[in-house]
Amino acid sequence: MFVDQLINGIVLGSIYALMAIGYTMVWNVLRFINFAHGEVYMGGAFVSLYLLLLDTPIWLAYLGGVCAGAFLGYLMEKVVYMRMRKAPKLNLLIAAIGISIVLQNVAQYIWGATPERLNSPFLSKNFTIADMEINQHYVFIIILTILVMIVLELFMNRTLMGKAVQAASQDINATQLMGINANKIISITFAIGSAVGALAGILVGPVFLVYPTMGVFAGLKGFTASVMGGMGNIPGAMIAGLLLGIIESFAAGFISSGYRDAVAMVILLFILLVRPQGIFGKIIQQKV
């Protein structure tokens, strides 16, 4: 029971962690919360589903979904947010909510509102370790999440472009004045964050099904995790996402599954009260 809940929690937490990365990366370069990020998660899952209907090989369908998610994120930045660079951040926030609702409706128009299961080559298989059965798709989710974290960490810290993204996160104007195209850095950030978000949606599709509003709650949890981890802190978002998933899973298992969200939110409130900068966040001094 304990180990079962732990594994469920890690799987759920992996999804939250992947989602949280998108929120935190966008926050880093634009200092706003992209509330349409949940729809990238949904969009990626739907595109994979659609590609499978066209008899695309499953890996290609997954990859297509990830690419479509990256493109969707890139597109919403280029078409909407980029035109609002000088607008108050509240305008971007409202625009994001608008995009989110529009995309949910577009998805419903194209694919309908009935939840559908995304195929997975592993879903019907189990690993048996000791006396326990572990679903192979769960293991797949965990492995892929770890892989994404490693790749992202390497990109951010070992590549020049990652360094430029970091610089832009810390002072975007100074970065631009050193000859770096800030718009390009912002586009890259959106594309990467969205690719990771779409991957989360695709990984969830075989377990929790695919439907137009699937991104709403996942988005909220990813956002929660990014705040818990300290907004703008990528490793913090990953760890907080995992923690949130594990806590929820234990709350569901040992209290009642009806209260899992409440427990998660109580913990969020507690963290915000005790450590407003998030578990791994630093207190950022405002520039004058």
Partner 1 sequence: MSIDLHNDSAILTIQNLSKSFGGVKAVNNLSFSVLQNNIHAIIGPNGAGKSTLFNLITGVIKPDMGNVQFLHQDITSLRPDKIAQHGVSRTFQNIRLFPDMTVFETVLIGTYQFTGGNLLPAFFRTKTFRNKESEAKERIEETLKFVGLWDVRNEYAAQLSYGNQRRVEIARALATNPHLLLLDEPTAGMNQKETQELMSLFSEVNQQGITILIIAHDMHLVYSLSNQITVINFGEKLAEGPPEVIQNHPAVLEAYMGRAETHA
Contact set with partner 1 (CB under 8 A) = 159-161, 163-164, 166-167, 170-171, 173-182, 184, 188, 287-288
Cβ at position 141, least distance to partner 1 in Å: 26
Phi/psi at 238 (5° precision)? -65, -50
Residue whose CB is less far from partner 1, 161 or 216: 161
Choice between 141 and 234, CB closer to partner 1? 234
Smallest gap from Cβ 83 to partner 1, in A, equals 15
- Which residues, other chains included, contact 74 with Cβ-Cβ below 8 Å and sequence gap of 6+? 187, 190, 191, 194
Q: What are the backbone dihedrals phi and psi of residue 113, each rounded to the nearest 5 degrees, phi first?
A: -95, -5
Cα gap 279→233, rounded to integer Å: 10
For partner 1, give the closer residue by CB, 85 or 89.
Answer: 85
Separation CA 103–CA 95 (nearest Å): 12
Instruction: Using CA atoms of 79, 85, 86, 91 in order, give the dihedral in degrees to the nearest 10.
Output: 70
Give the span between the Cα atoms of 25 and 38, in whole angstroms: 14
- Chain centroid, CA 250 distance in Å: 22
Angle at 173 between CA 95 and CA 171, to 5 degrees: 90
Residue whose CB is less far from partner 1, 33 or 191? 191
Instruction: Quote the least distance from Cβ 233 to partner 1, whole Å.
Output: 10
Phi-psi region of 181 (alpha: psi -120 to 50; beta: other; left: phi over 0): beta
CA dihedral over 51, 121, 223, 249, signed as positive or negative: positive
**Residue 90 structure tokens:** 């509240």
Question: Minimum CB separation from partner 1 for residue 285, in Å?
Answer: 9
- DSSP, res 81: G
Side chain identity, residue 105: N
Least distance from partner 1 to the Cβ atom of residue 191, Å: 10
Shortest reach from residue 232's CB to partner 1, in Å: 10
Report in angstroms how near the CB of residue 216 gets to partner 1 at its nearest: 32
